Chain A
């Protein structure tokens, strides 16, 4: 018999539910309660691309150490979905726990003997307490929450306080919820034994906040001065536009007129499709507003022609690409980092676009705001590359910060005064040697500075020209501008191992929290590896120095074709043999165990050592 796992503030719980069963709110309360007890939590919603009936999972990493990525494996499975029973049971770690609804007896073949099975007659308890089907459906979730509160040692008062907060607007619902919580708690206390997995009040959360990346990016757009948002619904980016809308309604109104009095300092349009969204962004950017759209891979595909126009005609704009499983409709509600190449080289002809690669909600906020400065400064489309894991899951992060003295960088805009003072205006002239020309906005001056914007080739004074040399000059200047971008984008972050090593690892985006844990695990195993997190494209010099300084560099990505690696090889002329692919692309967020095992394998670390790894 495998010994039951015992752990305090360090385990993985997974809820297996049915979509539409109302479980999300109970599971959310569970997580919040743990956070309120001062214990850090990482939470991931795994959901199907339909509204009702299919399986959903909610995986929670409880980590007093603060590891907030996915670890891998499940210590406690709350199995509420008969449809997925077999695979849910199989996923439990040896020595782990299975919590299920024992109203109907299950054949012993449905269990495992190396796990602890905890049955709660949930349906029976619920049906005994409630006659109405709607109540039964909702409160069933609260009953199991009550039982778990006892089994894991969660402070009941904390859960009760959360219920009161949750239903502050509908106080009539509070007593019924508290009662349901009690039913589950009492039954568990009277009939079951607490698990070996325990929660103990700690002080490890501090003033951190719990928020998803889309909300953070939407708020970043508000702080970045975005005034025009044109978007088209697509999972997993929709909530970004919704967050922007909600924050604008709160924060962007003329105080005199208020939200409904014509005082909106923003314009949000739900466009008819992605082509129109990016068209509106292009028009608004041309006319001097800070504009953005948010979308996912299929949307970026549709936008290609306009993205090429923006690149060539040099029009600022921001695209938040919340990546999901591709190609095509692929796995629309699963996560991937698979739009890297299609964004970097979006559109026909020779193009290169700036990509920002946030690692989580903090950088979604920061880069979300920065993107608008970069767009104006570089007069080009900026991509902020989120993914579903970062965009739609709530992450425990440091509070958002903003420097009160920060001034928005509007870039090189030639004013009427400058024109009047005799400035020589050539829309596509490289006056400053950085590849970035000056622009005028429509209606700047009655007789100076107007020009014709077009996608066709033109000379530095914006005069239509198909001269080969003129075209080449312009294309070379665009490359110069891309060079300039290197000094403006967020530099990579390098972490050196405790001792000198010839191994390096490169990663980016939402891989970050799992990578943190994997690196710590390797270090604990005495394995040294230097790490570099890429935060933007174009690649800043240090990235290639890092690669040059190591014999072997692992590139960890969440796509099939190692897209960042391809970009590194293409842009830096790196010998492909030095870059080892480490790829997770099954649609679920990468785990610390996977990274650690792959790196250990790649470095020839004996299995025995790599085997213990993260627990």
Chain B
């Protein structure tokens, strides 16, 4: 049922991608979030990333839970089907959708309340199952939609807008995702588009469970002094381990990078991740190293960003289940309903 998309006519000066789409073809409805909300920057980054990797907008399915962050799928890729599920349980719905049709691209968008509190269990299991998806947490350390309660990712000792000090330790979603077996793990900042866009591109081309924790300040409830998720705090404590470029399989690899400062990772689909190393000793394919690096940085009060781990040979849930290549939702009756002769045999075996 794939259709060759008709390029829509926009201002001729707008750049077109290989499919003939402009960036505007990847936009959605006008956002109703607070002006300046970090989540809107993430939506913009998703639009940019999808445009740049020449994704057919309708072939992406976007799913979310409940929260300000989970509203955002309405604000990008208007040509895609979207599903605002229930609070915290997007991962299972995405898993089911993926089981039904493995040929689409799945993007899950969630909040830190959504994923780290009510949905922590589902988050964990989607990661360990290796569901082929990109899972973005728009992490602001608070519940935005319900007006400012601490979320489970709020750091111990950080202060709410009303001056209350958080006494529980914060959950590090990146550390969790690594432990749980996600095969692509990254962190970024909504205010750092240069880093975020390539990470989303890489995650979308990754086969397997790709997780990106995006620090995304809530200007209404968590952008004050004392918050460790404010724009200023994140800028001051951001420690990037690498900078990324993604080259799609059909693009020629240009040798415009300095050897020695580069790591090249080729993924299943042939896409190449070019990592300009910032931290010299950082190897994003070393799982144990990533965990340890993260812990050291955390102790030093740094927020590590960049591509922290990738397994370019990752398998995904369908490989484990051994499902046919054809989407299950497209199998015709004759491939699903066994012949009557089979039933007769079953009957005979039950006498």
- Seen from chain A, the residues whose Cβ lies within 8 Å of a Cβ on chain B are 35, 207-211, 219, 222-223, 225, 227-228, 230, 247, 250-252, 254, 257, 259-269, 271-273, 275-289, 291, 305-306, 309, 399-402, 404, 406-408, 415-416, 440-447, 450-456, 464
A273 x B1 contact (CB < 8 A) = no
Among B3, B124, B321, the residue within 8 A (CB) of A445 is B3
B99 x A446 contact (CB < 8 A) = no
Q: A309-B85, A400-B346 are in contact. List 4 more A-B contacts (CB 8 A).
A: A265-B335, A279-B95, A305-B86, A440-B81
A453 x B1 contact (CB < 8 A) = no
B323 x A288 contact (CB < 8 A) = no
Given the complex, which residues of B lie within 8 Å of A277, measured CB to CB? Answer: 92
Given the complex, which residues of A lie within 8 Å of B6, measured CB to CB? Answer: 446-447
A281 to B344, CA, bound (A): 30
Among A269, A288, A306, A406, the residue within 8 A (CB) of B101 is A288
Known contacts A279-B96, A402-B340; A209/B347 CB under 8 A: yes
B256 at the interface (CB under 8 A from A): no
Given the complex, which residues of A lie within 8 Å of B351, measured CB to CB? Answer: 35, 207-210
- B: number of interface residues (CB 8 Å): 66
B86 x A446 contact (CB < 8 A) = no
B343 x A289 contact (CB < 8 A) = no
Among B97, B318, B325, B350, the residue within 8 A (CB) of A284 is B97
| Whole-angstrom distance between the Cβ of A355 and the nearest chain B Cβ | 23
Known contacts A264-B321, A265-B336; A228/B3 CB under 8 A: no
B122 at the interface (CB under 8 A from A): yes
Given the complex, which residues of B lie within 8 Å of A227, measured CB to CB? Answer: 99-100, 328-329, 331, 336
- Seen from chain B, the residues whose Cβ lies within 8 Å of a Cβ on chain A are 1-3, 5-6, 8, 56-59, 61, 63, 73-74, 78-86, 89, 91-101, 104, 121-122, 124-125, 129, 318-319, 321-325, 328-331, 333, 335-340, 342-344, 346-347, 350-351
20 CB-based A-B contacts, threshold 8 Å: A207-B347, A230-B92, A267-B318, A272-B121, A275-B122, A276-B91, A276-B125, A279-B89, A280-B95, A280-B99, A282-B96, A283-B94, A284-B96, A286-B83, A287-B104, A306-B86, A441-B329, A443-B2, A450-B80, A453-B82
B96 x A291 contact (CB < 8 A) = yes
Among B3, B81, B98, B340, the residue within 8 A (CB) of A446 is B3
A176 to B330, CA, bound (A): 53
Known contacts A225-B333, A276-B122, A288-B329; A446/B100 CB under 8 A: no
Known contacts A279-B122, A400-B346; A443/B81 CB under 8 A: yes
Given the complex, which residues of B lie within 8 Å of A261, measured CB to CB? Answer: 322
A228 x B125 contact (CB < 8 A) = no
Closest 3 CB pairs of A and B: A283-B96, A279-B92, A289-B100
A228 x B96 contact (CB < 8 A) = yes
A373 to B17, CA, bound (A): 42
B81 x A408 contact (CB < 8 A) = no
B350 x A211 contact (CB < 8 A) = yes
A296 to B325, CA, bound (A): 33
A383 to B212, CA, bound (A): 38
Given the complex, which residues of A lie within 8 Å of B84, measured CB to CB? Answer: 452-456
Among A251, A260, A285, A452, the residue within 8 A (CB) of B74 is A452
| Whole-angstrom distance between the Cβ of A413 and the nearest chain B Cβ | 10
Among B58, B89, B92, B328, the residue within 8 A (CB) of A267 is B328
Give the most central of A262, A291, A442: most B CB within 10 Å: A442
A450 to B76, CA, bound (A): 13
A451 to B100, CA, bound (A): 18
Given the complex, which residues of A lie within 8 Å of B337, measured CB to CB? Answer: 222-223, 225, 402, 406, 408
A443 x B336 contact (CB < 8 A) = no
Give the most central of B73, B86, B318, B337: most A CB within 10 Å: B337
| Whole-angstrom distance between the Cβ of B97 and the nearest chain A Cβ | 4
B101 x A254 contact (CB < 8 A) = no
A291 x B125 contact (CB < 8 A) = no
Given the complex, which residues of B lie within 8 Å of A267, measured CB to CB? Answer: 99, 318, 321, 323, 328
Known contacts A228-B328, A441-B329, A450-B80; A275/B96 CB under 8 A: no
Known contacts A272-B125, A284-B96; A450/B63 CB under 8 A: no
Known contacts A209-B347, A272-B121; A442/B99 CB under 8 A: no
| Whole-angstrom distance between the Cβ of A93 and the nearest chain B Cβ | 31
B95 x A283 contact (CB < 8 A) = yes
A571 to B258, CA, bound (A): 76
A285 to B83, CA, bound (A): 12
Given the complex, which residues of B lie within 8 Å of A230, measured CB to CB? Answer: 92, 95-96, 99
A562 to B133, CA, bound (A): 47
A309 to B64, CA, bound (A): 14
A209 x B336 contact (CB < 8 A) = no
Known contacts A228-B99, A265-B324, A400-B343; A280/B350 CB under 8 A: no
Given the complex, which residues of B lie within 8 Å of A444, measured CB to CB? Answer: 1, 58
| Whole-angstrom distance between the Cβ of B66 and the nearest chain A Cβ | 8
| Whole-angstrom distance between the Cβ of B68 and the nearest chain A Cβ | 14
Given the complex, which residues of A lie within 8 Å of B350, measured CB to CB? Answer: 209-211
- Tell me the nearest residue of chain A to B102, going by C-beta: A267
B92 x A280 contact (CB < 8 A) = yes
B57 x A276 contact (CB < 8 A) = no
| Whole-angstrom distance between the Cβ of A219 and the nearest chain B Cβ | 7
Known contacts A266-B328, A283-B94, A452-B84; A289/B99 CB under 8 A: yes
| Whole-angstrom distance between the Cβ of B347 and the nearest chain A Cβ | 4
A301 to B284, CA, bound (A): 43
Give the most central of A251, A267, A288, A441: most B CB within 10 Å: A267
| Whole-angstrom distance between the Cβ of A290 and the nearest chain B Cβ | 8
